[in-house]
Amino acid sequence: MLVLERRGESSTAIAIASPLLAIALTLATIAVLFALLGKNPLQALAVYFLDPLTDSYALQEMAVKATPLVLIGVGLSFCYLANVWNIGAEGQFLIGALSGGWLAVATHGTGAGPWVLPAMLVLGAVGGALYALIPAICKVRFGASEILVSLMLVYVADLLLDYLVRGPWRDPQGYNFPTTAEFDPVALLPAMIEGSRLHYGALIAVVVVIVATVVLGRTIRGFEIRLVGAASKAARFSGFDADRLVVTTFVISGVLAGLAGVIEIAGPVGHLQPAFSPGYGFTAIIVAFLGRLHPVGILFAALFLALTFIGGEGAQITLKVPLDLTKVFQGLLLFYVLACDSLVLYRIRLVMPQRRTADGIA
Amino acid sequence: MGLLESIVLAVLAASTPLLLAAAGELVAERAGVLNLGVEGMMIVGAACGFAAAWLTGSIVIGALAGIAAGTALAGVFALLTLGLAVNQVATGLALTILGVGLSGLIGAGFVGERIAGAPHLYIPGLTDIPFLGRILFGEDPFVYLSLAIVVGIWWFLYRTRAGLELRAIGDNPASAHALGLPVLRKRALAVLFGGACAGLGGAYLPLAYTPFWISGMTAGRGWIALALVVFASWQPGRLVAGAYLFGAVTILQLHAQGAGVGIPSQFMSSLPYLATILVLVVISRTRGRAGAAAPASLGTVFVPDR
Amino acid sequence: MLERAAEQGVPAPLLQAVGISKRFGDLLANDAIDLDLWPAEIHALLGENGAGKSTLVKIIYGLIQPSAGELRWMGRPVVLDGPAQARALGVGMVFQHFSLFENLTVAENVVLGLPPTESFAAVSARLAELSRAYGLPLDPKREVWRLSVGERQRIEIVRALMQNPKLLILDEPTAVLTPQEADRLFETLERLKGEGRAILYISHKLEEVKRLCDTATILRLGRKVATCDPRRETAASLARMMVGGEIGEVKSGAGRSAAGARLIVRDLSLEPDDPHGVRLDRVSLEVRGGEILGVAGVAGNGQDELFAALSGERLVDADAIHIDHRAVGNLSVNDRRRLGAAFVPEERLGHATAPRMSLSDNALLTGHAVTDMVRHGFINRAATLASVDRTTKTFDVRKSKRDPEAVSLSGGNLQKFVVGREILREPGILVVSQPTWGVDAGAAATVRQALLDLAARGAAVLVISQDLDELEEIADRIAVMFEGRMSAPLAAAQADRETIGLLMGGSSLKPREAAHAGA
């Protein structure tokens, strides 16, 4: 049987190797799955993971898709490091998009000036933060599980988006499609390279990664977050208030998720419609763990998961495999990441049960 | 059939998947394991249940397939959280994400297909009793099975030695280990039972509630089931009351939508989720921050030394 | 041994451990240990923390399997697959950190330690009978969290006796008892011995072992050092065998002059924040500069709540606590640190330190508000590392590298670190809980000496401890906590064990009457 032995000192080498091992194990499992679906596993993996890397359009698309994942993932890492379980980032993402999108809809066709986009970004961040405050306050004031409350709010945000784009915000010239009008240019993020889809949101994401790395690694606030998560009683002894930190970390992740939402609609999407998010808020949970809750790790993890989105779309077209395979892939990846993380804390040993007789007399 | 009667019948049906899933989760949590993957186990149970029933034409085989699928996913969860001592919250999330993906993969070939839903009971004489007959003897068998499972759980927890051991493990796994109780094995069994119940609860949806498969058809019921366990303060009896309350909210908002009360349907649809939040806040508040009723070791990792 | 076997008419020991070794990773916890346990004998197992006592006992109780060696039960080799099997043979165990379930009843707790064959009703009946017969009264229907520590130990003992064991193992049973409760326990043990049972008695209290035990086996660093008759040894000779050398005597700071009161607590009342906690009831005390005030008491009588209120982890009325004549009851832990106070909690891992964080992070843990470790919100890594180096050097902290994780240090070295990190800041007031709980003799001596020296330099030191020997060694005055109330302090020179013991047991008798009652 398997026996876990606690390591005296956490292993740094394994801490870096474990996400890579997890990716390798996931690829192996996916290969088996492809074989079961009747595809050539190697060819299928190539379509999934190599083809997107060979073409510059797909590479840009990867950065576009990684942008919301980085923003949300970094925000979630603040929560998870502090042992605060915000799993409703998808809801905060949608509300951020709605808050910013409201301004784009309201100023549509009014010839408003270039203040619109910055104001949208601020509104998105504030909207996401306020929505994240709901589970935080339910937790701190009433002791309600932040896990369940934040998750329930995802469904509510989804329905609200659905209502708005089918009802009051629907484009009158939209042939009854549930969508808002295309945003005016002043409500859109400019492209970083002329004619490409890569927009300035990607730059914002990189800045967020740098700031988060400094805050978490170098400042007393970062220490507070890590300490509350690692040993709450010791944190209290250190003079930190865990309740306040629940609110702070929820607000940080709400701001970043909301920002990601408004960047998504002001960037690649350009309007509001139901289900405009392929579940970035949930995928970002995987990103956060695959990146080992470290901002730089999260940057790489987000690029990798963006690759799975693009590869999944490619595979759907060329291999005729269902798009849900991407979700399976992502779920498996999280499993393997968590399992491999166990190696950082424990040594795993195979132990043979001792020989014995029924009454214990050997 | 009168309106009230039809509402009661609809509430019973709507509550059953919640009750099944929550009952299983209650057992796992009494052993100290928090499995947030209920939604994932339910949706895979639903997909496998429908697929098996459509292929074989048998509701029973469909239900068994749902149970098997839920149990299998719970087995993966047990392997990670108990075998490798991985954080239970994160693993539960992974289970849900994986389950949603798997269900789409499994159900892809069955979109748009229909089956004959589970037949309702008919006991001559009894079912014909006005009003009560249809409710007590005229629903589909799963409705009564779910109640039997809850009674069985109550009996197991409070009337058997094995149930006492389970409660002891949930209270203090280190003490239980010191006494020689097989903590990890018992926790694993509790988790597997939880998975079986969640799988059955999920399978109920396409087998009896709406006899076809649509992607994402559990619609957060697994999460509501988790909230129900909190609502019930980990006591089987209160679970029934909670499940029927939520079933009632679901049905009432559907009737209100149908009646066209002028409120946008999306607002009515969000009622079960808002009700869940409200219930969590009220229950958590009245119990105080300490949450005395929760099993003392809930959600914590236990690694025995050897 | 043969002669003795013949003399008792027993062919072989009841339990014989032959060459038992146990390896945990790199650590050899037991190294070829031999042990013979005979019926009608109380056998002491002596050793410092980390000597391997608990490991050996867990092997005998079937909780862990030895890496090498074998156990023989009445001469026959046995492989114990688990505690149930050990119990079936006739081994009973009373754990130091009780193996009880707080939210279950006494009867349910007892049932869980028995084979599943006996009905619940039958167990309840037998439990009532047995607890009456041995004078260990228990209410089977009460939930454990409502019971005192002494009552909890009774459950453990009764649970073990319910199986009619031939061998009863007790792990540090008197650590949590008042002297009077300990006396009653000794009577029970003598009676069990008289019934022909073997008793394995684990302790590091030498006087107790000399008084009670027939044989003593001494372990040091996983090896057996000696087996002897403790009544023929002196406490000092036993201690030498345990430690493997002389223990430095702690030198009390002669000529300490008590200045004015620096820490004053007045009518401090506090509701517990967890449902199983203790309510503080109008606690008052004063600690003067230059003195050590000891707070004695059985664990769970409000010491944790007192520490939380003094440290500022729980806030109270401003006037309930004064530090150097400033009302601080409503100030945060860091505000109190800024006023020159320092605190060392009981729990080393998880409260005093974050186990999986480095020592430099753990230096930051109590130093961030009062040192140069943080500037403009940024952590000064050089300063945190320098603090670790200073503590390491001054207090001889042994570790594998410059800045390891807290969890990788031994108990004694970590305790030197957590005490040292506070003392190096030269606090004017130090509150320390269980300063030497579970640490080796060398580290204990270092810590106690550091506390005495700090007081000698004019600081007010409050020591909360369950260990009366420790308090008698270092405290100038001793007060006793019982059920959230604090007795008036007694001058340590005049405080006899009898009186303190009675106060620990909740007796509010005046010292003179107490002495009379004890006679």
The pLDDT of B234-260, averaged and rounded, is 89
């995928």: which residue's tokens? A283
Q: Does the pLDDT of residue C9 top 60, yes or no?
A: no
Q: Does the pLDDT of residue C20 top 80, yes or no?
A: yes
Torsion of Cα atoms, C7 then C11 then C13 then C15, to 10° = -160
* Model ipTM value: 0.90
Q: Does the pLDDT of residue A359 top 50, yes or no?
A: no
For the stretch C84-130, pLDDT in tens is 999 999 999 998 777 899 889 999 999 998 888 888 888 988 998 88
Mutate to test the interface with A, among C79, C305, C418 (most CBs of A within 10 A): C79
């596993």: which residue's tokens? A41
For the stretch B71-80, pLDDT in tens is 999 999 999 9
B window 105-144, beta carbon within 8 A of A: 105, 108
Q: Quick one: pLDDT at residue C256?
A: 57
Q: Does the pLDDT of residue B58 top 60, yes or no?
A: yes
CA B244, CA B222: separation in Å to the nearest integer?
A: 15
CA B87, CA A338: separation in Å to the nearest integer?
A: 8
Say yes or no for a CB contact (<8 Å) between B290 and C274: yes
The pLDDT of A339-349, averaged and rounded, is 81
Q: Quick one: pLDDT at residue B106?
A: 92
Instruction: List Cβ neighbours of A181 (8 Å cut-off, separation of 6 or more).
Output: A105, A108, A109, A171, A173, A174, A271
DSSP class per residue in C435-499:
TTTT--HHHHHHHHHHHHHHHHTT-EEEEE-S-HHHHHHH-SEEEEEETTEEPPPEETTT--HHH
Interior CA angle at B169 toward B85 and B158, to 5°? 145
Residues of C in contact with B306 (CB under 8 A): 64-65
Report the mean per-residue pLDDT for chain B.
91
Say yes or no for a CB contact (<8 Å) between A237 and C25: no
CA C296, CA B184: separation in Å to the nearest integer?
A: 39
Q: Does the pLDDT of residue A54 top 90, yes or no?
A: no
Q: Quick one: pLDDT at residue A81?
A: 96
Q: Looking at the complex, does the CB of residue B14 fall below 8 Å from at least one CB of chain C?
A: no
C222 CA: distance to closest CA in chain A (Å) = 19
Nearest residue on chain C to B166, alpha-carbon basis:
C112
CA B72, CA B44: separation in Å to the nearest integer?
A: 10
One-letter identity of residue B114: R
CA B70, CA B49: separation in Å to the nearest integer?
A: 10
Residues of A in contact with C369 (CB under 8 A): 239
Say yes or no for a CB contact (<8 Å) between C100 and B179: no
Instruction: List Cβ neighbours of C383 (8 Å cut-off, separation of 6 or more).
Output: C371, C372, C373
The beta-carbon neighbor of A149 closest among B89, B91, B280 is: B280
Q: Does the pLDDT of residue B182 top 80, yes or no?
A: yes
Say yes or no for a CB contact (<8 Å) between A227 and C369: no
**Of A293, A306, A274, residue with least CA distance to A68:** A306
Instruction: Tokens for B34, please give them.
Output: 């928090």
The beta-carbon neighbor of B292 closest among C63, C101, C275 is: C275
Lowest-confidence pick of A358-362, B94-98, B127-131? A358-362
Is the Cβ–Cβ distance between C361 and C428 less than 8 Å?
no
CA C417, CA C394: separation in Å to the nearest integer?
A: 10
CATH fold of C2-90+165-243 reads: Rossmann fold (3.40.50)
Q: Quick one: pLDDT at residue C508?
A: 61
CATH fold of C261-348+427-518 reads: Rossmann fold (3.40.50)
The pLDDT of C424-444, averaged and rounded, is 92
Domain ranges of chain C: 2-90+165-243, 104-163, 261-348+427-518
Mutate to test the interface with C, among A232, A237, A293, A341 (most CBs of C within 10 A): A237
For the stretch C390-399, pLDDT in tens is 999 999 999 8
Instruction: List Cβ neighbours of B260 (8 Å cut-off, separation of 6 or more).
Output: none
One-letter identity of residue A138: C
Residues of C in contact with A352 (CB under 8 A): none
Residues of C in contact with A219 (CB under 8 A): 377-379
Nearest residue on chain A to C367, alpha-carbon basis:
A238
Q: Higher confidence at residue A11 or residue C355?
A: C355
Q: Does the pLDDT of residue B21 top 60, yes or no?
A: yes
For the stretch A75-131, pLDDT in tens is 999 999 999 999 999 999 999 999 999 999 999 989 888 999 999 999 999 999 999
Strand ranges (E), A315-359: 346-350
Mutate to test the interface with B, among A328, A340, A341 (most CBs of B within 10 A): A328
CA A249, CA B296: separation in Å to the nearest integer?
A: 26
CA C455, CA C476: separation in Å to the nearest integer?
A: 10
Say yes or no for a CB contact (<8 Å) between A328 and B93: no
C61 CA: distance to closest CA in chain B (Å) = 9
Report the mean per-residue pLDDT for chain A.
90
The rounded percent of chain C whose pLDDT value lies above 70 is 93
The beta-carbon neighbor of C64 closest among B174, B292, B305 is: B305
For the stretch B104-118, pLDDT in tens is 999 988 988 888 888
Is the Cβ–Cβ distance between B207 and B49 less than 8 Å?
yes
CA distances from B65 to B54, B71, B204, C337 (A): 11, 10, 11, 63
Q: Looking at the complex, does the CB of residue B220 fall below 8 Å from at least one CB of chain A?
A: yes
Asked whether this chain's domains C2-90+165-243 and C261-348+427-518 adopt the same fold, the reply is yes
What pTM was estimated for this model as a whole?
0.91
Instruction: List Cβ neighbours of A72 (8 Å cut-off, separation of 6 or more).
Output: A89, A93, A253, A256, A257, A260, A280, A281, A284, A287
**DSSP character at residue A324:** H
Q: Does the pLDDT of residue B193 top 90, yes or no?
A: yes
Q: Quick one: pLDDT at residue A85?
A: 96
CA A91, CA A277: separation in Å to the nearest integer?
A: 10
Q: Quick one: pLDDT at residue A352?
A: 58
What burial class does residue A200 get, using C-beta atoms within 10 Å of its C-beta: 0-12 exposed, 13-18 middle, 19+ buried? middle
Nearest residue on chain B to A353, alpha-carbon basis:
B306
CA A97, CA A81: separation in Å to the nearest integer?
A: 26
CATH node for A2-348: 1.10.3470
Domains of chain B, earliest start first? 3-287 (1.10.3470)
For the stretch A224-254, pLDDT in tens is 999 999 999 999 999 999 999 999 999 999 9
Q: Does the pLDDT of residue B37 top 60, yes or no?
A: yes
For the stretch C173-207, pLDDT in tens is 887 788 888 888 899 999 999 999 999 999 878 88
Say yes or no for a CB contact (<8 Å) between C112 and B178: no
For the stretch C54-85, pLDDT in tens is 899 999 999 899 999 999 999 999 999 889 99
The beta-carbon neighbor of A155 closest among B86, B102, B220 is: B220
Residues of B in contact with A149 (CB under 8 A): 277, 280-281
Say yes or no for a CB contact (<8 Å) between C112 and B176: yes
Q: Does the pLDDT of residue C248 top 80, yes or no?
A: no
The pLDDT of A290-311, averaged and rounded, is 94
The pLDDT of A26-41, averaged and rounded, is 89
The beta-carbon neighbor of C108 closest among B164, B175, B181 is: B164
Q: Quick one: pLDDT at residue A298?
A: 97
Torsion of Cα atoms, A90 then A93 then A97 then A99, to 10° = 110
Interior CA angle at C78 toward C75 and C79, to 5°? 165
What burial class does residue C395 get, using C-beta atoms within 10 Å of its C-beta: 0-12 exposed, 13-18 middle, 19+ buried? buried
CB pairs under 8 A between A and B: 151
Torsion of Cα atoms, B147 then B153 then B155 then B161, to 10° = 170
Pairing of strands C477-482, C490-491: antiparallel
A161 CA: distance to closest CA in chain C (Å) = 40
Q: Quick one: pLDDT at residue A313?
A: 87
CA B86, CA B97: separation in Å to the nearest integer?
A: 17
Q: Quick one: pLDDT at residue B131?
A: 76
Q: Quick one: pLDDT at residue C2?
A: 42
CA distances from C2 to A167, A233, C12, C18, C230 (A): 97, 55, 9, 16, 21
3-state secondary structure C270-289: ECCCCCCCCCEEEEEEEEEC
A window 208-227, beta carbon within 8 A of C: 218-221, 223, 226-227
CB count within 10 Å of CB A109 equals 7
* Alpha carbon A36 to chain centroid, angstroms: 29
The chains found to touch B (3+ Cβ pairs under 8 angstroms) are A, C
Q: Does the pLDDT of residue C7 top 60, yes or no?
A: no
Say yes or no for a CB contact (<8 Å) between A360 and C78: yes
Say yes or no for a CB contact (<8 Å) between B164 and C113: no
CA C128, CA C119: separation in Å to the nearest integer?
A: 14
Residues of A in contact with C65 (CB under 8 A): 354
CA C293, CA A331: separation in Å to the nearest integer?
A: 58
A356 CA: distance to closest CA in chain B (Å) = 17
One-letter identity of residue B8: V
Instruction: List Cβ neighbours of B148 (8 Å cut-off, separation of 6 or more).
Output: none
The pLDDT of A24-28, averaged and rounded, is 94
Q: Quick one: pLDDT at residue C519?
A: 33
Q: Looking at the complex, does the CB of residue B85 fall below 8 Å from at least one CB of chain C?
A: no
Report the mean per-residue pLDDT for chain C.
88
Q: Does the pLDDT of residue A146 top 80, yes or no?
A: yes
Q: Does the pLDDT of residue B267 top 50, yes or no?
A: yes
**Of B127, B110, B305, B295, residue with least CA distance to B217:** B110
Nearest residue on chain C to B165, alpha-carbon basis:
C112
Q: Does the pLDDT of residue B305 top 80, yes or no?
A: no
φ/ψ of residue B247, rounded to 5: -60, -40
CA B88, CA B92: separation in Å to the nearest integer?
A: 6
**Of B112, B199, B100, residue with least CA distance to A325:** B100
Say yes or no for a CB contact (<8 Å) between C104 and B168: yes
Pairing of strands C223-228, C215-220: antiparallel
Q: Higher confidence at residue C449 or residue A319?
A: C449
